[in-house]
Chains A and B, each alone.
Chain A
Amino acid sequence: MGKSGSGKTTLLNILGGLDRPTSGSVLVDGDSLYARRDRELSRYRNERVGFVFQSFHLTSGDTALENVQVPFLFARRRPRDAAERARRALEAVELADQVDQPSETLSAGQKQRVAIARALVNEPEIVLADEPTGNLDEETGAGIVALLVDLVRTRGMGVVIVTHDPAIAAAADRRITIAGGRIVGEA
């Protein structure tokens, strides 16, 4: 948790191997994440983390199903059942009837569900969600967070959610507050 500009998104990006820290290090399995080469860092993002963004960031012109399959495009080996796995991920976010819908035609809540399905389809160890309800109304946002938490729990994954909404933070097992790029509280 933290106010705007406190460094929440930067922290999330650094954890996800997306943004290089100016100082300090990130250790994954005892190794420095940012000592890795671009290819290894990309593999880390592909196989071990899943991102959910505030602005959904679905790829333009693709259907819901194609969006969910995007991580397989860059996988070391594309699974034979890639389409089937993407379909199952969309079923899990209750969008089984929207698989062939172009992403532009989906509602904001549906877009975020597609983004969650995309984050989960590769079965990562951890999901990094950056203000996942920031562009949604309160009711839809609450439903999305509940869905996300439920999905990662049933799959045994971890989730880091960045938010400034105490109601969303309440769903977490552990809450860290940052300000000015530093941890100022933990509960």
Chain B
Amino acid sequence: MNWIAIAVTFKLALLTAALLLIVGLPIAYWLTFSKWRWKFIVESVVALPLVLPPTVLGFYILVAIGPHSPVGRFYSNVVGHPLPFTFEGLLLASILYSLPFAVQPFVAAFEQVDRRLIEASWTLGVSKFKTFFRLIVPLSTAGLITGAVLSFAHTLGEFGVVLMVGGNIEGETRTVSIDIYDEVQALNYAGAAKTALLLLAVSYSVLLLVYAMNRKVWAVWPQR
């Protein structure tokens, strides 16, 4: 089994989930509480990675961060090397790719919080910021964990995006799913089977955790 690829994958998935908690919270807050008429436009953008083919997303990211784009040139001038085909580039791509998997459960959780509690907090003079962290977040813990865990699991299995912006570099951008693909091409079916089984086991355990935790709060299956 390729432990380097496994370590890279878990590092990528953990970082993606952690950063999505940071980036996703304000987006989800805004999506839940904004009364803006055109909010649905932003909602559609956030949900886009759910339906967009990963190769399309990967292609756009590659063009956007490559050495021919202003963003890519800026990055390589500051950091000293180009962004595509590096771990950081892959991380950026994963965050965009898994955005709806974090933001949508966050929004669902925020919507469950009793509006009266939030408004009571506001009228008692607690700032919106403090209300968010001391009331809304604690009441949405299960949804936040669900979002983090789903984006973690989604990143584990990422393939098309990694293929486009990763470049298959050992210890850097060769993830488990790419490693399985490589092993099959090297006709090493036994190696591929072992790694595939590990990925299956982890993915299933993650989903078990999510469903066990969310029997009441947030469920993919409709509640009966």
A and B held together in a complex: no
Chain B interface residues toward A at CB < 8 A = none
